[in-house]
């Protein structure tokens, strides 16, 4: 505005148009500033009045300046009139200056207030940011301290649970392979665990047993309980199953949450015990018979009053010899079977002519065979194998003895030697009693005799076939039987070549 005033005054004095340049530049700037002030006044009503007053004065001043310019442009008298007007223009300008000064001071207050408020906002923001930062750092620190501890304790709990679960799983996996029936019952007597042996012994699969009262699953439970109550842990219970009777030793362990019932199958042991006592009875009988014969013959020979004759003496001596031989054979079998059990039967292989071996075996059996038995050998040509001749002879003699023993009506017993690729077979075939199919596997077991009570009057230890099979297997071969009850049996020794 000052530029406009100065420019106009210069023009009025000089009448030189160039003096108007500061006026024009000042006017453009004033228009711009006024617009900015009016904009500001809309947001700050406290300066709106001053801005309006200044704007009015600016308009009046500029109208005055335009009049002055017009007067100077008229020249001469017009310029003089304009020079006389300068004073009134100066008064108007002073009013404007005072107004503008007030507006500037108000504006300064506003600027100061704005600065103060900005600074306050800045500090408040800074405080908030610092507070938020401190809180975040605190939380982070707390998390840093507490989270690992929490995670660690959770990990510990998880590890303990996992280890407990693994221990449980390992225990139940092991119990699945145990031969004894293991049953876990809760405090109410309901089945909580039922291993495969329990399923097999008691005939109930695991899914049908779980979560049910044991009394419902095992109808014989009262007998088991009675045994446990009477004999205590370790008492034997005999249970009838579909297949056969089962001897079970019952044991139980009680604890606050329930009890474990263990049933151990001792049927095999009972069976062995039974066959052993049968063997003792048979062996005693077998030993006593030849012993009685020898004793009788010796007593007859020693009698003073006997009528001596060379034929009778010979008969008695032959009897003593045969029966002693039988005694020795039985004792031998018992000894060999113990050696076989210990695995201490040596096998010494050498070249062995089977025709010679079979002839010798037949010759020794023929001596004691009844006249009703016919022994025949069939070997198409000489056959030599590499095996232990004395052990093989022992086996062939045993098979021939059996063929004779179990052919009570007599008949033919054939020994055949057959050659195959890579193996040789010796067959001993009779036409005697034969063996029922379901017993054909069992006869190779120790002490097993199909007629233990000797209803057919045929004695034996039940060890011959057990020893024979063991010896053949030790020679690298196999011993098998084909038989039909009432038609006879064929035992075959198969040996590698
Ligand atoms: P044992 O001394 O009783 O003869 P083994 O072990 O030799 O003992 O035979 C076992 C059982 O097998 C015999 O008791 C008999 O019942 C049966 N057995 C063996 N050989 C024959 C056969 N050739 N014919 C019929 N039964 C046989």
Helix (H), strand (E) at residue 235: strand 235-240
Report how far ligand 1's centroid is from the alpha carbon of 433 (Å): 10
**Ligand 1, atom 7: closest residue by C-alpha:** 464
Count of other CB atoms within 10 angstroms of residue 444: 17
Give the per-residue pLDDT at 109. Answer: 80
Region 377-392: mean pLDDT is 94
Whether residue 141 lies inside any domain: the answer is no
Assigned domain for 171 exists: no
Three-class SS state of 421? coil
Model-level pTM?
0.52
* Domains contained in the chain, number: 4
Most confident of 249-263, 327-341, 418-432, 456-470: 418-432
pLDDT of residue 163: 86
Radius of gyration of the chain from its Cα atoms, rounded to whole angstroms: 65
Distance from the alpha carbon of residue 220 to the mean position of ligand 1, in angstroms: 38
Q: What is the pLDDT of residue 296?
A: 92
| Cα 443 to ligand 1 centre (Å) | 7
Whether residue 490 is contained in a domain is answered as: yes
What pLDDT sits at residue 182? Answer: 92
428 in a domain, yes or no? yes
153 located within any domain:
no
393 and 308, same domain (yes or no)? no
Check which CATH number belongs to the domain holding 256 and give it: 3.30.450.20
Distance (angstroms) between ligand 1 centre and the Cα of 398 equals 10
User: Is the domain of 188 the same as that of 251?
Assistant: yes
Residues 274 and 257 in one domain: no
Per residue in 284-293, pLDDT (tens digit) is 877 888 899 8
Please report the pLDDT score of residue 225 as a whole number.
Answer: 81
**pLDDT for position 455:** 65
Residue 110 lies in a domain: yes
Give the sheet arrangement for strand 373-378, strand by strand: 373-378, 411-420, 423-429, 488-496, 478-484
C-alpha–C-alpha distance, residues 69 and 49, integer Å: 30
Question: 351 and 421, same structural domain?
Answer: yes
Give domain status of residue 81, yes or no.
Answer: yes
Of 92 and 415, more confident: 415
Task: Tell me the CA distances in angstroms from 400 to 7, 173, 334, 361, 368, one per residue in order.
Answer: 158, 51, 19, 8, 11
| Best residue for ligand 1 mutational test, from 289, 330, 449 (most atoms within 8 Å of Cβ) | 449
Give whichever of 135-144, 213-222, 418-427 has the largest mean pLDDT.
Answer: 418-427
Residues 282 and 210 in one domain: no
Using a 6 Å CB cutoff, which residues line ligand 1? 402-403, 406, 430, 432-433, 435, 443, 448-451, 460-466, 489
Q: What percent of the chain has pLDDT over 70?
A: 98
- Ligand 1 centroid to Cα of residue 425, in Å, is 20
- Report d(CA 280, CA 274) in Å as an integer: 10
CB contact at 8 A, 258 and 191: no
Domain range for 86 is: 2-119
Cα 248 off chain centre by? 31
Nearest residue by C-alpha to atom 12 in ligand 1: 443
**Helix, strand or coil for residue 352?**
strand
Identify whether residues 325 and 356 lie together within a single domain: no
Point out the domain boundary residue: 298, 320, 339: 339
Task: Find the CATH number of the domain harbouring 406.
Answer: 3.30.565.10
In this structure, the answer to whether residues 290 and 258 fall within a common structural domain is no
What are the tens digits of pLDDT across the range 173-191?
888 888 899 999 999 989 9
Report yes or no: 276 and 447 within 8 Å, Cβ to Cβ: yes
**In-domain check, residue 150:** no
Residues 387, 245 within the same domain: no
Mean pLDDT of the chain: 87
CA distance 315 to 302: 14
Three-state SS at 469:
helix
Closest residue to atom 25 of ligand 1, CA basis: 434
Assess whether 352 and 328 both reside in one domain. no
Overall average pLDDT of the 89-102 stretch = 83
At 52, the pLDDT band (50, 70, 90 cuts) reads confident
Give pLDDT, residue 391: 94
Nearest CA to ligand 1 atom 21: 402
Q: What is the predicted pLDDT for the residue at 438?
A: 92
**Mean pLDDT, range 70-74, rounded to an integer:** 88
Kindly give the distance from the C-alpha atom of residue 286 to the centroid of ligand 1, in angstroms, as a whole number: 15
Neighbouring C-beta atoms of residue 488, cutoff 10 Å? 22
Say whether both 472 and 368 belong to one domain: yes
Which residue, 222, 246, 265, sits at the end of a domain? Answer: 265
Q: DSSP string of 10-79?
A: HHHHH--GGGGHHHHHHHHHHHHHHHHHHHHHHH-GGGHHHHHHHHHHHHHHHHHHHHHHHHHHH-THHH
- What the block records as the tokens of 168 is 């449980």
Place of tokens 């002073």: 94
Band the pLDDT of 456: cuts 50, 70, 90.
Answer: low
pLDDT score for 237: 80
CA of 289 to the centre of ligand 1 (A): 19
* 370/482 same-domain check: yes
* Alpha helices, H only, 343-477: 354-368, 389-405, 464-474
Same domain, 297 and 316: yes
% of the chain with per-residue pLDDT over 90: 33
Domain boundary among the residues 265, 293, 322 is at 265
Question: Can you give the pLDDT at residue 299?
Answer: 92
pLDDT tens digits along 319-350? 899 889 888 888 888 888 888 888 888 899 99
Answer with the residue of higher pLDDT: 386 or 306: 386
Residue 457 is predicted with a pLDDT of: 64
Distance between CA atoms of 319 and 342, rounded to whole angstroms?
A: 35
pLDDT for residue 204 is more than 70: yes
Cβ–Cβ < 8 Å for 195, 178? yes
pLDDT for position 490: 98
């Amino acid at each position: 505005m000052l530029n406009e005033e100065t420019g106009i005054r210069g023009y009025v004095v000089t009448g030189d148009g160039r003096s108007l340049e500061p006026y024009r530049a000042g006017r453009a700037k004033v228009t711009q500033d006024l617009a900015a002030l009016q904009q500001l006044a809309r947001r700050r009503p406290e300066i709106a009045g001053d801005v309006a007053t200044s704007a009015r004065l600016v308009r009046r001043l500029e109208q005055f300046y335009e009049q002055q310019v017009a007067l100077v442009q008229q020249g001469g008298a017009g310029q003089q009139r304009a020079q006389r007007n300068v004073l009134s223009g100066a008064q108007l300008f002073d009013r404007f200056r005072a107004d503008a000064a007030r507006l500037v001071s108000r504006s300064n207050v506003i600027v100061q207030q704005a600065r103060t408020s900005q600074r306050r906002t800045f500090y408040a923001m800074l405080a908030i940011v610092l507070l938020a930062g401190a809180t975040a750092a605190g939380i982070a620190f707390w998390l840093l301290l507490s989270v690992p501890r929490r995670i660690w304790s959770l990990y510990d709990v998880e590890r303990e649970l996992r280890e407990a679960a693994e221990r449980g799983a390992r225990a139940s996996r092991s119990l699945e392979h145990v031969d004894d029936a293991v049953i876990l019952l809760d405090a109410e007597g309901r089945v909580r665990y039922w291993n495969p042996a329990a399923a097999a012994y008691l005939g109930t699969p695991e899914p049908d047993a779980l979560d049910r009262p044991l009394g419902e699953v095992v109808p014989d439970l009262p007998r088991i309980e009675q045994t446990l109550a009477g004999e205590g842990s370790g008492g034997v219970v005999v249970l009838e199953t579909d297949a056969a009777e089962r001897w079970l030793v019952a044991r139980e362990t009680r604890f606050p949450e329930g009890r474990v019932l263990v049933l151990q199958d001792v049927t095999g042991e009972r069976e062995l015990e039974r066959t052993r006592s049968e063997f003792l009875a048979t062996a005693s009988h077998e030993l006593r018979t030849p012993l009685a014969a020898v004793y009788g013959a010796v007593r007859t020979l020693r009698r003073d009053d006997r009528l001596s004759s060379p034929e009778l003496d010979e008969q008695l001596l032959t009897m003593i010899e045969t029966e002693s031989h039988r005694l020795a054979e039985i004792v031998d079998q018992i000894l060999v079977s113990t050696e076989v059990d210990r695995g201490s039967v040596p096998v010494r292989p050498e070249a062995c002519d089977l025709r010679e071996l079979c002839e010798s075996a037949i010759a020794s059996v023929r001596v004691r065979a009844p006249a009703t038995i016919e022994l025949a050998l069939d070997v198409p040509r000489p056959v030599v194998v590499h095996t232990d001749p004395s052990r093989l002879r022992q086996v062939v003699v045993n098979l021939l003895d059996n063929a004779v023993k179990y052919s009570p009506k007599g008949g033919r017993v054939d020994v055949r030697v057959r050659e195959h690729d890579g193996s040789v077979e010796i067959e001993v075939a009779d036409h005697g009693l034969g063996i029922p199919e379901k017993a054909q596997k069992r006869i190779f077991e120790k002490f097993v005799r199909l007629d233990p009570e000797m209803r057919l009057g045929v004695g034996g230890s039940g060890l011959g076939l057990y020893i024979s099979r063991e010896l053949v297997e030790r020679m690298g071969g196999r011993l098998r039987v084909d038989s039909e009850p009432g038609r006879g049996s064929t035992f075959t020794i198969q040996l590698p070549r």
